[in-house]
Chains A and B, each alone.
Chain A
């Protein structure tokens, strides 16, 4: 299986959150993302910095949810990848 590119990994992480009714705890997200703990944290920090996800505190503990930017990324993902491919970037 080919190594996933950065854009694809980001898509996968955001998609897991969306498919989980836009609310997931960090540990199941790490498990489902198929990444090492170290790589997951790197990606997760980047997603927070870019404003794709947000952490909220619930009565059950810390939850991760998508922001509008996160939804926008998911919505645009096919366009993004097709643009990069078509322009040979």
Chain B
């Protein structure tokens, strides 16, 4: 995402925010590797992919902000289409991260021909990212993400409610929902030129908190003796 208006102060906050989230995501991904190697459990695979894709998304976001902060002539980057490429990668990877997060919770419920095949979602995410670039309406991808998240949550949750033997929904479910909402809100804020900086800071702080809560929980649970 290329914010419409920048100031130096905001860029530094963005950099720190992205760095914390990138570190959290990749640490979660690395820390759960052994768990997946031992079990090949689908839920763990989707959970890891969530943070891999979030990590990629925030990494690209971080690079973009570095470009802005470095004061290098942006004409060069524009000429090689860096911003379009970055937006395409971010759109695709963030959509996949959100889909994988829903999958990690509802994969047992979403067990029919269409929903159990992640390839369809991969294709849809690629097409949506492509369309957003072509029509040059970056906001479209976030509306699409909000729609797909809502759809999958409703389907997953209604199937879960119908199940005879319900397992307990994780207490972390609220943190997951928070991650969805904050992702959408933080991106929509990029398109609003005049909003209180305090709102932006609160959104960033809550996002960092959500990722760090999950990271600490992963470390605590997998702290092998």
> Which A residues form the contact surface with B (CB < 8 A)?
2, 6-7, 50, 69, 72-73, 76, 79-80, 82-89
Contacts and interface: CB of A to CB of B under 8 A. Distances in A.
A7 B42 CA distance: 11
B41 A7 contact: yes
Given A79-B224, A80-B35, A82-B221, A87 B172 contact: yes
B105 A89 contact: yes
Interface in B12-64: 34-35, 38-41, 43-44, 46-47
> Which applies to chain A's interface (DSSP): helix, strand, loop or mixed?
helix
Interface residues of B, number: 24
Most buried by B among A2, A84, A85: A84
Contact of B39 (A80, A85, A87): A80
Interface of B: 34-35, 38-41, 43-44, 46-47, 104-105, 165, 167-173, 217, 221-222, 224
A80 B41 CA distance: 10
A79 B218 CA distance: 11
A83 B165 CA distance: 20
Most buried by A among B168, B173, B221, B222: B221
Contact of A88 (B40, B41, B172, B221): B172
